[in-house]
Amino acid sequence: MKNQRLSFPHFPCFNVSAILLLFSLMLSFSIVAFAGNLYDDLYRTWGEDRCKILNNGQLLTVTLDEVSGSGFESKDEYLYAKIEMDIKLVPGNSAGTVTAFYLSSKGQYHDEIDFEFLGNETGRPYTLHTNVFCQGTGNREMQFRLWFDPTADFHSYSILWTPKHIVFLVDGIPIREFENLERYGVPFPKNQRMKLYASLWNADDWATRGGLVKTDWSEGPFNAYFKKFNAENACVWSRGASSCRSNSKFSPFSNNAWLWDKLDYGAEGNMKWVQQKHMVYNYCTDTNRFPQGLPKECYLKNPKY
């Protein structure tokens, strides 16, 4: 994944007002081009009318009350993708609630790539929980405290899944990379197509301080908000094949160069900063949890968990 720099041509005969007008028009066009309709890409799957698409397809809300939570999923399935949405989390006392945003295949031996936002008591920060499953096995959790209030405004959350790695991003900043280390015997999700799923549900048996703090239903109903679904870079599965396949193989010379991008030095530095300053749990340092030895990837030279 390469950082791109915008460059603008020099027009010596333009005055400042003209340049500002040109920039405004360019920005307006990019916003219009980006803004899709959620009805085209997503559909509500459970919770009845607790999940709603509003504002002519520009906003989706999920609600949790004492009866049920709610959720939605993507219409398309993917075998590699970058999936992104803007999310605004449940404000106030959200203890016991979980807002989930993840890719998953189906079945007992499923693959899964998770963002889960664990609610907390008023004034305490959310815990951002990440995990990677392959063939039904996870246990690869990393947790973070965000460096902003995720309930005050929308922020962008992205999952980049390619043959080379899985990257979790927040506002475009990578916070975690799980590399494809199959050459060392580490499983990597690559064979099962996945859909995007998102939901808001009650998990007060474990979500907040290990289940010590229960959901206060007098604070409900609880609401989270989603907008700007983006799967521009995605290998859509259709009729038994991926849209990114060329001669039955993924090719780095196709129009899908994003599949082969690496994190550049700037992105590596940002990820290191996040992990040093904001990571609160790393499965690769939890020796008590793995008395028979840490997972294999944790022992590799210079691993990126």
Q: Which residues are catalytic?
A: 112, 116
- Classify the phi-psi angles of 244: left when phi > 0, otherwise alpha if psi is within -120 to 50, otherwise beta: alpha
When computed from its CA atoms, the radius of gyration of the chain, rounded to whole angstroms, is: 21
Contacts of 185 (CB under 8 A, 6+ apart): 296
> Half-sphere exposure (CA, 13 Å, Cβ side) for 45?
13
Task: Give the DSSP H or E segment for 32.
Answer: helix 16-34
Report yes or no: 87 and 101 within 8 Å, Cβ to Cβ. yes
Report yes or no: 277 and 147 within 8 Å, Cβ to Cβ. yes
Alpha-carbon distances, residue 255 vs 238, 244, 252 (angstroms):
18, 8, 8
The two tokens of residue 151 are 């309930």
Residues 90 and 62: their CA atoms lie apart, in Å, by 10
Q: How many CB atoms lie within 10 A of CB 284?
A: 17
Helix (H, G, I), strand (E, B) or coil at 27: helix
Residues 96 and 138: their CA atoms lie apart, in Å, by 22
The two tokens of residue 94 are 């959200």
Cis preceding-peptide flag for 221 (omega within 30 of 0): yes
Residue 172 dihedral angles phi and psi, to the nearest 5°: 80, -5
Which candidate, 77, 81, 101, places its Cα nearest to that of 157?
A: 101
